[in-house]
Chains A and B, each alone.
Chain A
Amino acid sequence: MRAVEGLAGDPGAQPQRTMLAWNRTMLAAVLGAMLVALTAERQQRPVIAAVAGLAALALLVLVLRDLRRWRHDGSGPWTSLLHVGIAVMVLAALGGALAIVGLVP
């Protein structure tokens, strides 16, 4: 749980809600990476599948590390947001590559 200054008895449960939003986002990102990997595998594009799988793994490690570090210092969410954002961009690029490769039989 992330410690946030002055929100100990917050009736809106903001820190918990933020943490749950992080969990949902991580779940969605990993599922998205799995979808890209499985789809690429099914279409016999092993390179794209491998990159997607590795991206999912790297994202998990990076962001879980970020979220753990939050407990110890009060740095903002920027690095974690950046990491997840880059992961979404990578997945978008891989999906676009799948689509464009499909255009050229």
Chain B
Amino acid sequence: MSDISPDPATGPERRPASVYGVGTEPDARFSLANERTALAWLRTGLALVAGGVALTTLATFAVAGPLLDLVAALACLAGGTLAVGALVGWRRTERALRLGRPLPAPSALPILVIGVAAIAAVLAGYAVVQAFG
């Protein structure tokens, strides 16, 4: 079914053209799965931002306030970066699907790991200092 011209039922030109202008229409299930993956990345970014904002509240009455604020800023930065990564990843995957190429690796994963690990390490250190300090 790939040799037919684009049918008029699809309405106006689909954006972005860099994705929909190449290749052929993949199985709709793959496109929907790609969409859900991007949404899951966006929710992950939101969770990091929410954690960072919660940390700023803790920083207002904690002894190590500046340190916690620093980690909060890092968490928010990581969350925003994950949102960018979600959009970029969606485009790359959709292109690969349409061109029948192997799917790209999730490039946002290292950001997530570094962000979560940094927050966990600082909070663990903070808890130890609170308990024994």
Contacts and interface: CB of A to CB of B under 8 A. Distances in A.
Contact of A18 (B32, B65, B80): B32
A25 B43 CA distance: 6
B72 A95 contact: yes
Given A95-B56, A95-B72, A82 B46 contact: no
Contacts of A82: 87
A89 B129 CA distance: 33
Chain A binding surface SS class: helix
5 contacts: A18-B35, A39-B53, A81-B39, A82-B87, A98-B72
Interface residues of A, number: 48
Interface of B: 9-12, 14-16, 19-20, 28-29, 31-33, 35-36, 38-40, 42-43, 45-47, 49-50, 52-57, 59-60, 65-66, 69-70, 72-73, 75-77, 79-80, 82-84, 86-87, 90-91, 94
Given A75-B11, A95-B72, A85 B19 contact: no
Contacts of B11: 72-75
A93 B80 contact: yes
Nearest to B31: A76
Contacts of A51: none
Contact of B29 (A14, A21, A81): A14
A105 to B, nearest CB: 9
A52 B40 CA distance: 22
B80 A99 contact: no
Nearest to B72: A99
